[in-house]
Structure 1
Amino acid sequence: MTEYCCIFQYVMVVMHGGVPIVFAGTEAPAAFAEVISIGGLGQSVNAKLSSTIADILQTKLSIDSSRFYIKFFDSPRPFFGFNGTTF
Structure 2
Amino acid sequence: MFYKYVMIVLKGSVPMSCGGTEQPAAFGEVASVGGLNPDVNKEMSAAISNILETRLSVPKNRFFLKFHDFKGSDFGWNGSTM
> Is residue 2:29 matched to residue 1:28?
no
Whichever structure has more strand as a proportion of its residues is: 1
Gaps of 5+ in 2: none
Give the aligned CA root-mean-square deviation in angstroms. 1.5
Gaps of 5+ in 1: 1-8
Residues 32-60 of structure 1: CA distance to partner in whole angstroms, max 9, x if unpaired?
A: 00000001000110000000011000011
Match of 2:63 in 1: 68
Match of 2:79 in 1: 84
Distance 2:38 2:72 in 1: 19
Paired residues, number: 79
Match of 2:13 among 7, 14, 18: 18
Q: Which has the higher contact order (CA 8 A, sep 6+)?
A: 2
Identity %: 49
Match of 2:37 in 1: 42
Q: TM-score, normalised by structure 1?
A: 0.83
